[in-house]
Amino acid sequence: MSTDTDFDLITIGAGSGGVAGSRRAASYGARVAIFEESRVGGTCVIRGCVPKKLLMYGAQFRDAFEDSAGYGWAAGAVPAFDWPTLLARKDAEIDRLNKIYITMLANSGVTLVQERARLVDAHTIAAGGRTYRAKTVLIATGGRPSPLPIPGIDLAMTSDDLLAMPALPKRLLVIGGGYIAVEFASICRGFGAEVEIVIRGQHILNGFDDDIRIALEAELKRRGILINTGVQPVGLERAGAGLRLTARDGRVFEGDKVLCATGRHPNSAGLWLEAAGVAVDKQGAIRVGKGSLTSVPGIYAVGDVTNRVNLTPVAINEGRALAETLYNNNPTEVNYANIPTAVFTNPAIGTVGLTEQQARDQGFVVDIYRTGFRPMKYTLSGREERVMIKLLVDRATDRVLGCHMLGNDGPEIVQGLAIALNCGATKRQFDATIGLHPSAAEEFVTLRDKVAVSP
Ligand code: NDP
């Protein structure tokens, strides 16, 4: 091995958190190198948020075609859909974004090394037959799908595979009821596949507000997605041209393809963390404390590899906070309160703040405001789909604790509400805000009747 290229900061992993932290550090004059074994852009850009959302845009055209007749457009068959065309266009867009990321790194003065890197010690990494030294190391290696440990699971697709599958299956079986499971189920249903979901619990989207979960289930079912509960998968095998999943209770479920979306694991294996003494938890997530510092001085970790809040904007904030602290003399902590999030199903969920259950668990006496209605757009088209809006208010202080919406405008609306919640907005302030008419959003400022109160 030859040595020694010296940097102020070496980042391992060029995804959302690594790129953001590296560029911000370089903008303050730090000499930065970033190592990436795969494509620059990480999960979000290459195999997550971005391609997923492009596919969802594509899937939603079915609704537009169907709804148009009610608005006077000549009723006709829904145009034929060609999956390979969309896939190629999606891939071209991801290529474009990948190049932009590479250019952004270069323009920021960050040295990109396209190699797999591993730690040698707290200030040295090895990659491509060389060692590199830096005062500080940032690990931002993200996560990867973690398929169920059952026989035959290799026959199933992960979300990575689904984003590259050459043909749309006629029948898709989805294992899991989290973000990825329901988003991909919804996408494939939009393109016309028969979709069946199996979950081990009673409802999809554990951790979301119960009313919203149940309302989304009803909408997914209305669109023809079957949801099977209490299913503990024990094995997957070939069955003719398709696949058969067997559950512990003997039930069987079949599909031409199976998507296993049962969570993700931190990408920490093979980094030789133990060589430097970096501590990980049972799931392999790098343990971090204040300021994203690991158990080793000089080594930091951000994003999904730390398994804190596994969302792109959180990783970006963690990376930038670190750069502000280390290279701009501006100690910065990430504000983990009121992180908005969306589930890009059709219809979508937008949510920020506490769920009803969380509010109760935290000892709040909550006033609950909830409304459901058919969006104006669907009055003429005749589509039977309902929006749900729910607000949770702390009775003692009148502070709004949580905002939840099921409806395709939800994600766009909730981003603004997150600002209000971070400012400590009260229900009275929501009520004193004039609505924007006609919109679904105005319902958030016109909720008058409490539907229930906590005991
Ligand atoms: P999630 O943790 O959201 O969901 C995992 C699902 O798999 C749950 O339904 C869970 O069931 C089920 N599951 C886990 N283990 C088993 C098991 N042994 N047997 C049966 N079922 C099991 O993971 P995802 O993979 O969907 O997403 C990973 C993360 O990525 C998300 O948590 C989120 O942070 C991020 N993400 C965000 C998106 C967004 O912002 N729109 C989109 C996609 C991902 P149970 O509920 O019973 O635990």
Range of the domain at 228: 153-262
126 and 187 belong to one structural domain:
no
Q: Please indicate, yes or no, whether residues 285 and 378 belong to a single structural domain of this protein.
A: no
Instruction: Looking at the structure, tell me whether residues 284 and 244 fall in a common domain.
Output: no
pLDDT tens-digit profile, the chain (455 residues) = 444 558 999 999 999 999 999 999 999 999 999 999 999 999 999 999 999 999 999 999 999 999 999 999 987 788 999 999 999 999 999 999 999 999 999 999 999 999 999 999 999 999 999 999 999 999 999 999 999 999 999 999 999 999 999 999 999 999 999 999 999 999 999 999 999 999 999 999 999 999 999 999 999 999 999 999 999 999 999 999 999 999 999 999 999 999 999 999 999 999 999 989 999 999 999 999 999 999 999 999 999 999 999 999 999 999 999 999 999 999 999 999 999 999 999 999 999 999 999 999 999 999 999 999 999 999 999 999 999 999 999 999 999 999 999 999 999 999 999 999 999 999 999 999 999 999 999 999 999 999 855 44
12 and 119 in a single domain? The answer is yes
Do 178 and 304 belong to one domain?
Answer: no
In a domain, 335, yes or no: no
Verify that 134 and 99 share a domain, yes or no: yes
Q: How many domains does the chain have?
A: 3
**How much distance in Å is there from the Cα of 264 to the middle of ligand 1?**
7
Looking at the structure, do residues 57 and 105 belong to the same domain, yes or no?
Answer: yes
Instruction: Indicate if 127 and 229 belong to the same structural domain.
Output: no
What whole-number distance in Å separates Cα of residue 318 and Cα of residue 305?
12
Distance 262 CA to ligand 1 centre (A): 5
| Same domain, residue pair 319 and 399 | no
The SS3 assignment for 105 reads helix
Find the CATH number of the domain harbouring 85. 3.50.50.60
In a domain, 388, yes or no: yes
pLDDT of 454: 47
Would you state the pLDDT for residue 4? 52
Residue 151 contacts residue 311 (beta carbons within 8 Å): no
Domain boundary among the residues 217, 246, 262 is at: 262
* Last residue of one domain, picked from the residues 276, 304, 327: 327
Q: Measure the CA–CA gap between 214 and 86, rounded to whole angstroms.
A: 31
Q: Is residue 336 part of a domain?
A: no
Alpha carbons 311 and 319: distance in angstroms, whole number: 13
Q: Can you tell me the distance from the alpha carbon of 329 to that of 327, in angstroms, rounded to the nearest whole number? A: 6
**Residues 257 and 276 occupy one common structural domain:** no
Residues 206 and 350 both lie in one domain: no
Round the average pLDDT of the chain to a whole number and report it.
Answer: 96
* Ligand 1 lined by 343 (C-beta under 6 Å): yes
The residue among 262, 283, 317 that closes a domain is: 262
Q: Are residues 44 and 96 in the same domain?
A: yes
Pocket-testing residue among 52, 227, 264, ligand 1, by greatest number of atoms within 8 A of Cβ = 264
State how far the Cα of 117 lies from the Cα of 397, in Å rounded to an integer: 51
Minimum-distance ligand 1 atom for the alpha carbon of 146: 25
Query: Cα 443 vs. chain centroid, distance in angstroms?
Result: 26
CATH number for position 390:
3.30.390.30
261 C-beta closer than 6 A to ligand 1: yes
Percent of the chain residues past pLDDT 90, beyond the cut: 96
Residue 332 lies in a domain: no
Q: Would residue 355 count as lying in a domain?
A: yes
Q: Which of 176, 173, 116 is nearest to 146 (CA)?
A: 176
